[in-house]
A and B are shown apart, each in its own frame.
Chain A
């Protein structure tokens, strides 16, 4: 009886293992990052020659990265997508090591990452300073006219009630102010301490981890916070009728979209293609691209394709 029992068991076990194997194999087909394959372009990127393009885990950054990718593909340069990488601390080492080779960045934020003490403020100064601040092995290509920088915004009602249109006006507001933004804003040079040092404004801080997204906006509308950090290319600033406060003392650095590239990957062909893209990417374009993503719910792939068709570079 025992023999029969084990014999059955072995047979069944084998069948079971085959079933498990089938599932593993099915899932194994998908090894790798599915965001890699968001492009329509055919074929898997070959290991050796392909240039690895990364993006932040930020939808707008992903669109720009997708534009880079499609532009290169249109010029028969093989690419591999490594999108949706978290923060600078995570992806910059990967860029330095060559794990990732090309990345859409923002000049001001990138400069402050490498040189927190920098005094550069204007677009050109920041770009010039950035070239000197980058570590060995990394360089930036031409910056785009498009900017996407941190900006402090208030509701229209708040602006009118308190007569505030500029950060320098905030000092005269008597009610307590709370600033909303991602956790890291707390320790950035332009965070609460910067506001105090530059404009003499004392603010509390509420961390909201959606990068100036809907939760931040809702908190502002509900008056849970009075001041929010929203990236300047966010279409919701206009849609929600927010007032972006002016920054006469230059608390924020100008932050243009800039391709950050590993020197080894910066061949003349690649640089040429990406520089053409950058030259065509205007501030209005970027807001429009973001709007297509949020309001029309288009995929990064489609948005990039449409934009490239519109500018007709290649």
Chain B
């Protein structure tokens, strides 16, 4: 533990860098997934194709994807943009299914009622569909967040600094405490992000808590979340 004592500053800095690497992909991935999920959900025929193709993106092994990013984007080798874009791709691959499921979970009667009240398609989407699919979207977002925080460590293999630095440096210097610190820090960030997302959910979706069937919904939601995640 001597290592940790003398490197608290480094660990903190790496945690901040790691977070700055993870937040854009989580947010951008979410924003991209909503329209794609809407299309997949709106036009039943495209649903299978979109979900399967995007789901397959998640099976691309991360290291080669990171390696190829500079070639595809024309960015410098060391640019953190390479990692951000790659993580965004994974985020979209994970999130689109949740987005489609979430939008699909909205009661058709409610949508018809909204239309009957004179909502245009656009209004209906923003005021009814999106808020009501919130719980499922949030569950998906939590999965995306955890996965992104974990995957960002791979960036260090290709020279983009993240908490993965502690793995590689710890290996070279034979300091298990350093590697362990890296793992714990990643988990810590994941937990903080998760709590923030739950908090965000409570702020933005207050009705989901008051729902009488909250217990049943939580069960269903956690199950959806558990099963939509594929792999790193």
Contact = CB atoms under 8 A, between A and B. Distances in A.
Interface of A: 2, 5-6, 8-9, 12-13, 15-16, 19-20, 23-24, 26-35, 37-38, 57-59, 82, 84-86, 90-91, 93-94, 99, 210-211, 213-215, 293-294, 296-299, 302
Contacts, number: 117
Given A12-B204, A20-B200, A90-B78, A57 B168 contact: yes
Contacts of A84: 156, 159, 161, 165
A84 B78 CA distance: 10
B77 interface: yes
A-B pairs, 3 with minimum CB distance: A30-B16, A34-B13, A27-B19
A84 B17 CA distance: 14
B20 interface: yes
Contact of A94 (B77, B199, B204): B77
> Do most interface residues of chain A lie in helix, strand or loop, or is the interface mixed?
helix
Place the interface of chain B in its size category.
35 or more
Contact of A59 (B19, B156, B169): B169
Interface of B: 2-3, 6-7, 9-10, 13-17, 19-20, 22-23, 27, 76-78, 117, 127, 131, 156, 158-159, 161, 165, 168-169, 171-175, 177-178, 196, 199-200, 203-206
Contacts of B205: 12
A23 B172 contact: no
A306 B205 CA distance: 56
B161 A35 contact: yes
B172 A27 contact: no
A211 B200 contact: no
Nearest to B70: A90
B149 to A, nearest CB: 12
Contact of B196 (A23, A59, A90, A298): A23
